[in-house]
Amino acid sequence: MAIRGSCLCGGVRFEVDRACGPAEFCHCNRCRKLSGSASLLTIRVNAKDYRLLTGRELVKTYAAPILYSPPAYQSFFCSNCGSPVPEPAPAGESFEIPAGLFDDDFGIRPDRHIFVDFIPPWDDLKRELPAYTRRQIYELRARGSRPEVVVPGSHVPPGK
C-alpha cells in the first residue's frame, strides 16, 4: 500500500511505496532555516519508489549558494502555500523527504540527530519538556491560562 503525502494546501501530492531510511533530525543551519524549526526530520526514500501525483506546475526550487563544495543545497517548495515539497524528478538513487509532508505513517522512526555541532544554544536535546494533547492545549487557551507543569512524557497534567 502506498504511503501518501502532500503540501499544506494539498496542491502537491505524492506517494512512495516504502521509506528505506535513515530518518534523521538534521540540525544544520540550512535545514533549520528551511523548516523554520530547531531541526528538520527527513525520511530517505528510493527514487524508484516515489511518484509525484499532482502539482508539478506548483513546485519551485531554490538553490542556496555553495558553502563548502558542490552541489548546491536545493530546496523545493509549493508556490501556492510555501510548504517544502519533494523534488519532482529526483536525479539520484535515493533522496530525502521532510517527514511532516507525509499524510500516512511512513513505517520507520527517527534513528539519529546529525550536524549537532550546529545546534543553537536555545535548543537542548536532553531537556524534557511538558507535552499536551490537542484537547488540553485548546482548553488551556480558551481559559486564557498558561499551561501548568506536566510530568515529562506523560501527556497528562498532574492530578488529571
Each domain of the chain, given as residue ranges in start order, spans 3-123, 128-160
C-alpha cell at 81: 502555500
The pair phi, psi for residue 13, each rounded to 5°, is -130, 145
Per-residue pLDDT of the chain (160 residues; tens, 9 = 90+): 899 999 999 999 999 999 999 999 999 999 999 999 999 999 999 999 999 999 999 999 999 888 887 777 899 999 999 999 999 999 899 999 999 999 999 999 999 999 999 888 888 877 777 777 888 888 888 887 766 555 444 444 444 4
Model pTM score: 0.81
Amino acid 135: pLDDT = 87
User: CA 18 to CA 89: how far, in whole Å?
Assistant: 17
How far CA 62 is from CA of 22, 106, 153, in Å, comes to 24, 26, 38
Q: DSSP alpha helices (H): ranges in the chain?
A: 29-35, 134-142
Amino acid 149: pLDDT = 54
CATH of 3-123, one of 2.170.150.70, 3.40.50.920, 2.60.40.10, 1.10.599.10: 2.170.150.70
How far CA 61 is from CA of 105, 124, 135, in Å, comes to 26, 31, 37
